């Protein structure tokens, strides 16, 4: 964004951080990996786990929330790893990613990998499986993200880094603890009707129609359903950040 260069101060409002009040290169300049997920508690648990796995923290060590000045998102850091919550759905993760990408830019970070981790609804997989996303698709199975900008519909690519997918698959084989597949992830705008559930407040289709839709999704290459991957992929692509 060329407009950022003209700003005296960039306030990352939803992180409670700003270039005028925080030294971004000092705080975040060593970041190489960012893991994002829905809930603050999950991302705090993740940073504690990864710190112990990498020998960067001691058992029972507390990790302060860097974004404690706001209740929108939570952020934790250990070594070169940043763990950030993004809430639920495309709007919430979109806001977070705008500010996260600016944070990495102001911190002068390079060669960043961002990975979204979280629960999703599997299609044709045993419970507990891990899906590594090849590309995000919309509810009509198209690999694209549509956004209205200044009254015009903009269509953006949602392909993700194939090399990173293969590297993660190799890691899974070495760990050998989870059934892991590479497939497409369907990103919906809603948890209930958008994902074909029968238990929402509104449902104008039957179980047979639901199962037919899920079969069509599976046949198109979809292996799981969630609500954030399309804008995640589009924004990673646009900003030149490797994402998965």
Known binding-site positions for phosphate: 72, 116-119
Residues making up the annotated binding site are 72, 116-119, 195, 197
Token pair of 6, please? 């003209």
CB atoms within 10 A of CB 143: 17
Question: Are the beta carbons of 158 and 195 closer than 8 angstroms?
Answer: no
Residue owning tokens 């074909």: 196
Among candidate residues 109, 155, 148, 116, the one with its CA nearest the CA of residue 132: 116
- Under DSSP, the state recorded for 117 is -
Question: Are the beta carbons of 229 and 183 closer than 8 angstroms?
Answer: no
**What number of residues does the chain have?**
244
Q: Calculate the CA dihedral of residues 56, 61, 66, 67 and round it to 10 degrees.
A: 140
CB atoms within 10 A of CB 125: 18
Token pair of 46, please? 């993740």
Question: What are the strands, taking DSSP E only, across the chain?
Answer: 11-12, 17-18, 33-37, 75-78, 81-85, 113-116, 121-122, 130-137, 144-149, 152-157, 180-187, 222-226, 242-243
Residues making up the annotated binding site for substrate are 195, 197
């Amino acid at each position: 964004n060329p407009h950022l260069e003209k700003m005296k101060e960039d306030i990352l409002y939803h992180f409670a951080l700003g270039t005028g009040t925080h030294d971004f290169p000092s705080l975040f300049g060593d970041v190489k990996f960012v893991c994002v997920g829905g809930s603050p508690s999950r991302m705090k648990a993740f940073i504690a786990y990864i710190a112990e796995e990498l020998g960067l923290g001691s058992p029972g060590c507390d990790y302060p929330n860097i974004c404690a000045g706001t209740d929108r998102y939570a952020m934790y850091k250990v070594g070169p790893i940043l763990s950030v919550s993004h809430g639920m759905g495309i709007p919430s993760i979109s806001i977070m990613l705008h500010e996260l990408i600016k944070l990495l830019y102001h911190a002068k970070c390079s060669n960043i990998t961002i990975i979204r981790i979280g629960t999703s609804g599997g299609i044709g997989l045993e419970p507990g499986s891990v899906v590594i996303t090849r590309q995000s698709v919309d509810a009509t199975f198209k690999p694209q993200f549509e956004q209205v900008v200044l009254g015009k519909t903009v269509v953006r690519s949602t392909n993700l880094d194939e090399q990173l997918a293969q590297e993660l698959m190799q890691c899974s084989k070495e760990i050998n603890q989870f059934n892991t597949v590479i497939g497409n992830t369907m990103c919906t705008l809603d948890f209930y009707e958008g994902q074909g559930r029968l238990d929402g407040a509104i449902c104008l289709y039957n179980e047979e129609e639901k199962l037919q839709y899920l079969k069509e999704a599976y046949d198109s290459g979809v292996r799981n359903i969630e609500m954030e991957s399309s804008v995640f992929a589009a924004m990673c692509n646009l900003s030149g950040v490797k994402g998965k």
